[in-house]
Structure 1
Amino acid sequence: MAKHHHSEGAGPSQRQLRVGELIRRTLSDVLLRGDIHDPDLNRMSITVGEVRTSPDLKIATAFVLPLGGQGADEALAALRRNKAELRRAVAKDMTLKFAPELRFAIDDTFDRLDDTRRLFDRPDVKRDLDAPDDDEG
C-alpha cells in the first residue's frame, strides 16, 4: 500500500482531481438525462461546475448552479432530497470501489466574477488602472 504524505495547505492529489472530474461529468450526465425520478429536479437545468473530493474519496462536494443562477435554494433542496438516488446513479456509471457521499453547494465562482467585473467598472478603480506608472522614464 502506498504511503500518503499530507502536508498542511497541500492541494488535492491527482487522484482526487481525477475522481472529482469523473464524478462531475457523471453527475452532469445523470442530471441532463433526467435519470432521477423527481419532476422538480428534472425541470431544472443545473450546471455542475466542480466536484471536490475528500482525501479518502468518501465525500464528494458538487458545486452547482441552476441555469441563469435563479432558484438556487430550490435546486439545492431538490438535489439534497434525491442525494441517495443520485449517489446510486453516479456509482452505477463509475468504476469506484464505493460511491462517495454526495454533498451539494452553490457554485459562487460566477458571482465572484461579476463582483470583479463590477470592481473594474468603478470610476476610481478605472482611474487608478489608467494612471501611468511613475517608475517609467
Structure 2
Amino acid sequence: MRHMAKNKFNDGPGPSQRQLRVGELIRRTLSDVLMRGDIHDPDLNRLSVTVGEVRTSPDLKIATAYVMPLGGSGQGEVIELLARNKAELRRIIGRKAGLKFTPDLRFRLDETFDQIDETRRLFSQDEVRRDVED
C-alpha cells in the first residue's frame, strides 16, 4: 500500500506531483492566453485577470482556476465571462500546453488576498501582537 502525505488544509491526501505539474502548466498557459487577448470575446479581452492557482482533480479531468480581476472590481463579471468562453479557453490551452487530454475548466474567485488582509488585521491587534512578541 502506498503511503500518501496528508494535506494540512483538508486532512486528506495532498495533490500528486502530476496534479501539481499539470495545474501549474494550465495556470501559466491560461495567464498567457488572457494576457495576450487570444480569446475572441472583446469583453473578456478588455479585462486584466490574475490567475493565482489552478487545482486539478486526481483524475486530471477537472481543473479549477482561481482568478481575480486586477484591482478586485468586477469579480462576478470575470467569472461569468470566463465561464462563457471556457470551451475556447480549453481548446487554446490544450493546443498550447500540448496536453493529451485537456481538463474541463471551472473558475472560482481567488480569496487568498482576502485571507491575507484578514491575517494582517488580526496580527495588528494589540492583544495578538502582545502574545506574539512574548
Question: Structure 2 length normalisation: TM-score?
Answer: 0.89
Tell me the residue number matched to 1:49.
Answer: 52
Tell me the residue number matched to 1:80.
Answer: 83
Comparing 115-124 with 19-28, greater Cα deviation is found at 115-124
Per the alignment, in what secondary structure is the counterpart of residue 64 of structure 1? strand
Structure 2: stretches of 5+ with no match in the other structure = 5-10
Instruction: Specify the structure having the higher radius of gyration (Cα).
Output: 1
Q: Establish whether residue 112 from structure 1 lines up as the match of residue 115 from structure 2.
A: yes
CA distance in 2, matches of 1:95, 1:82: 20
Identity %: 68
Per the alignment, in what secondary structure is the counterpart of residue 68 of structure 1? coil
Q: Establish whether residue 13 from structure 1 lines up as the match of residue 10 from structure 2.
A: no
Q: Alpha carbons of 1:105 and 1:6: their partners in 2 closer, same or farther (altered >3 Å)?
A: farther
Question: Structure 1 length normalisation: TM-score?
Answer: 0.87
- The alpha carbon displacement at 1:6 in A equals 8.6
Alignment-mate amino acid for residue 83 of structure 2: R
- The alpha carbon displacement at 1:68 in A equals 1.3
Q: Establish whether residue 97 from structure 1 lines up as the match of residue 100 from structure 2.
A: yes
CA distance in 1, matches of 2:89, 2:109: 17
Tell me the residue number matched to 1:71.
Answer: 74
Tell me the residue number matched to 1:135.
Answer: none
1:4-57, Cα deviation, whole Å (9 max, x unpaired): 959681100000000000000000010011011111111110010000001111
